[in-house]
Every structure is written in structure tokens, then in C-alpha cells.
């Protein structure tokens, strides 16, 4: 499973600094949105086919960590955002290497959402809407309660 999830490790890093004209930067950002959307669509099959325990782990990460990352990312400078993404990428890598792909996927959904907010273009807008829906689902999701022992 970790091998199938290894593409996530690459998607979180935001690349190096780009100079030049704003139009070039805008084109680069739109292309980034398209890449993130395609990678998101590839990963969605994992959520769609997940058993309840796996889906719970994924949505649990989204529910418990989104607000933290959202506030940190929103108030960060461009350089700080890159550090947040770099740290998240390393965490996703460690989780997936350990076989904990549901939690890695939850963190990836958060990072896709945060990046899509700051990218222009239709692909970024579609990605943002899709991840917004998953975040909304996660916030409404109540984790299953373990059965209590009788007696």
C-alpha cells in the first residue's frame, strides 16, 4: 500500500522560488493547480473504496488537524507556507512508510485544500471545492464508538 501512496510525498512541496513576470508565475500556479487536482483525483479512489475504519482514520485526521493547519497557513508568509508544506510532506512520507496511509491521506487532503486556496484557475477551484466538501464531511463525521464490555 505504501508504494501506491508514494506519489503523495511529492505533491506537498511547493517548489523553489520563481522570479520573472507575473504572467509566467500565474501560468506556473495554474499548472500546479492542475497537477494537484489530478493527484487528488487519483487518491480519491482510496477514500471511495475504504472500509469504515480506514475512512474514520482519514476523516479523523482532517477533523482534528484542519483548524490548526488552516490558521497557521493563513497567517504565514510565503516562506513559512513552504516550510509548513515541507514539514507536512515529511510527515506524510513517514506515515505512508509506516503503512498508515489513511492518516497520510487525511493530511494530504488538508494540504491540497490549503494550497488550492492560493492558486488561480479552474483546476484549483475544483480541487478546493472537492476538498472543502471532504472537510465538511469530516467535521460532520462522528467516529464510531467502541463497544463496551458487558459486566
Please check whether residue 14 lies inside any domain of the structure: no
Examine residue 10 and state whether it is found in any structural domain, yes or no.
no
Number of domains in the chain: 1
Q: Which of 86, 134, 89 is nearest to 108 (CA)?
A: 89
Q: Say if 120 falls within a structural domain.
A: yes
Report pTM.
0.74
Range of the domain at 119: 20-140
Residue 106 lies in a domain: yes
Distance CA 96, CA 76 (A): 27
Residue at 149 is within a domain = no
Contact 18, 28 (CB under 8 A): yes
Q: What is the pLDDT along the chain (151 residues), one digit of tens a residue?
A: 343 333 343 344 444 444 444 565 667 778 788 878 888 888 888 888 888 888 899 999 999 999 999 999 999 999 999 999 999 999 999 999 999 989 999 999 999 999 999 888 898 999 999 999 999 999 997 755 444 444 4
Does some domain include residue 1? no
Amino acid at each position: 500500500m505504501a508504494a501506491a501512496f508514494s506519489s503523495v510525498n511529492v505533491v506537498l512541496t511547493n517548489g523553489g522560488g520563481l522570479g520573472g513576470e507575473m504572467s509566467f508565475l500565474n501560468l506556473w500556479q495554474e499548472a500546479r493547480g492542475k497537477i494537484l487536482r489530478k493527484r487528488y483525483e487519483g487518491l480519491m479512489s482510496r477514500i471511495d473504496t475504504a472500509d469504515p475504519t480506514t475512512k474514520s482514520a482519514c476523516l479523523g485526521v482532517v477533523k482534528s488537524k484542519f483548524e490548526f493547519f488552516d490558521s497557521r497557513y493563513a497567517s504565514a508568509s510565503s516562506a513559512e507556507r513552504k516550510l509548513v508544506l515541507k514539514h507536512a510532506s515529511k510527515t506524510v512520507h513517514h506515515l505512508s512508510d509506516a503503512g498508515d496511509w489513511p492518516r497520510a491521506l487525511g493530511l494530504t487532503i488538508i494540504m491540497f485544500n490549503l494550497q488550492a486556496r492560493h492558486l488561480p484557475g479552474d483546476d484549483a477551484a475544483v480541487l478546493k471545492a472537492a476538498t472543502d466538501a471532504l472537510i465538511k464531511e469530516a467535521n460532520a463525521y462522528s467516529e464510531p464508538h467502541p463497544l463496551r464490555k458487558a459486566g
